[in-house]
Amino acid sequence: MMLQTALDANKQPISEIPVAEQKRAVRILAKSIYRELRSQGYDEKQIVSLATELLGEVAKKMARPATHS
């Protein structure tokens, strides 16, 4: 949500936003999510498990052949 808000503020297509700015926004989002999870009582193992599941979902999406909409 924070990444999208940061990108929406620019009102530019993501492809036009400098890569360094995109990376910075992602880094800020990751830190924010990590801090929120820790404040909610999740431990490091649980956070790594969540990250692993997220990566698995992305990998599945990338492995699927592109469909034409």
Q: What is the pLDDT along the chain (69 residues), one digit of tens a residue?
A: 455 555 565 577 777 889 999 999 999 999 999 999 999 999 999 999 999 999 999 999 999 877 655
Q: Which residue has the tokens 């800020």?
A: 28
pLDDT of residue 3: 54
Residue 55 to residues 4, 28, 34, 58, Cα–Cα distance (Å)? 19, 19, 16, 5
Task: Return the amino acid letter for 50.
Answer: L
Alpha helices (H) along the chain: 2-10, 19-39, 44-63
**For the whole model, what pTM was predicted?**
0.66
pLDDT value at position 14?
A: 77
